[in-house]
Amino acid sequence: MKIKCLWVRLRKEGTRLIIEPAAPKSLLALLATLPVLEEDFVPMTDLPPDDVTF
């Protein structure tokens, strides 16, 4: 059996041992595990919004 994740959660239900993928605790916890991007982004022109007619 293969589980495609870095962390798993183990729990016991009666006499069974349950192994399941563990979700990150929060988005911040997930972002903290990602590498820092070293790329420079192209500057974008901030255009005024289009007129809206209701």
> Three-state SS across 38-51?
CCCCCCCCCCCCCC
The rounded distance, in Å, linking the Cα atoms of 29 and 51 is 40
Can you give the pTM of this predicted structure? 0.39
The answer for residues whose C-beta is within 8 angstroms of residue 8's C-beta and 6 or more apart is 19, 20, 21, 22
pLDDT of residue 18: 93
Write the pLDDT tens digit of every residue in 1-54: 777 778 888 999 999 999 998 876 788 888 888 998 888 888 889 999 999 999
pLDDT in the model for residue 5? 79
pLDDT at 15: 95
pLDDT computed for residue 51 by the predictor = 93
Tally DSSP H helices, then E strands, for the chain: 1, 2
- Per-residue pLDDT, 31: 86
Are 34 and 28 in contact, with CB atoms under 8 Å apart? no
